[in-house]
Structure 1
Amino acid sequence: MIPLSRQVAIPDDEYTLTAIRAQGAGGQNVNKVSSAIHLRFDIRQSSLPDFYKQRLLAAQHHLITAEGVVIIKAQEYRTQAQNREAAIARLVALIQELTAVQKRRRATRPTRASKERRLATKAQKSSTKSLRGKVRLT
């Protein structure tokens, strides 16, 4: 069971973890041991609430395929257990990032003091720049 929030969790039977061989340098360990993890999570077949499903399927993210399947490959660690933890953590982070509700912006106005400070600095810069001109001898 992967908890996403207090009310929402992903049961273990809704995602698949497959051990595969990692890519890249690493010598004999990489060539012999299947330490990388391939995580697949089908959004449409999951028991997530409709709000979560809609937000995830509408998102244009490189980890989500057109069919609505999240595919994560974790191979940054030497052990399979650490890669499994990393893949699950990345899935949780992805879901939480894409389903976060943004606060509505409340329109505000600048205070009188901030307007006066802005105008004072503007006048100061203006006088500084006007003094940079050519000096006239009269």
Structure 2
Amino acid sequence: MLTISRTLSLPESELVERFLRADGPGGQHVNRTESAVELRFDVAHSPTLPEAVRERLLARRDRRLTDDGVLVIQGRRFLRPGAQSR
């Protein structure tokens, strides 16, 4: 369960996470380490999301929201050279 606020929590079954290779600097681990994550949540078809919240989210012009109403958040992490040896 992902708690958004005191009144709203999303079940993990409605979240889709995918691990992928981050672009950018990578040194020896480039193209071998899946160091990025993509989280997807179907705002348009979620049975858990209150209708008022759904309408507010879909009305936003957010580049993370697909035409199908899926919210896509990507996270990447880059390490500085030598940071792994600490």
Q: Report the TM range for the smaller structure's normalisation.
A: 0.7 to 0.9
The CA distance in 2 between the partners of 1:49 and 1:30, in whole Å, is 42
Normalising by the residue count of structure 2, what TM-score does the alignment of the two structures yield?
Answer: 0.82
Alignment of 1:2-41 (within 5 A): 2-41=2-41
The CA distance in 2 between the partners of 1:28 and 1:18, in whole Å, is 23
Alignment of 1:105-120 (within 5 A): none
- Quote the offset at 1:45 in angstroms: 2.0
Give the structure 2 partner of residue 72 of structure 1. 73
Stretches of structure 2 that go unaligned for 5 or more consecutive residues are: 80-86
The CA distance in 2 between the partners of 1:37 and 1:13, in whole Å, is 17
CA deviation map 1:81-132 (0-9, x unaligned): xxxxxxxxxxxxxxxxxxxxxxxxxxxxxxxxxxxxxxxxxxxxxxxxxxxx
SS of equivalent to 2:31: helix
- Quote the offset at 1:76 in angstroms: 2.3
The CA distance in 2 between the partners of 1:75 and 1:38, in whole Å, is 9
Moved >4 Å (runs of 4+):
none
The CA distance in 2 between the partners of 1:59 and 1:27, in whole Å, is 38
Higher strand share: 2
Give the structure 2 partner of residue 42 of structure 1. 42
The CA distance in 1 between the partners of 2:30 and 2:9, in whole Å, is 33
CA deviation map 1:52-93 (0-9, x unaligned): 100001111111111101111111255xxxxxxxxxxxxxxx
The CA distance in 1 between the partners of 2:30 and 2:50, in whole Å, is 39
Stretches of structure 1 that go unaligned for 5 or more consecutive residues are: 79-138
Contact 2:26 2:78 in 1 (8 A): no
Aligned alpha-carbon RMSD (Å): 1.3
Normalising by the residue count of structure 1, what TM-score does the alignment of the two structures yield?
Answer: 0.53
Say how many residue pairs are matched.
78
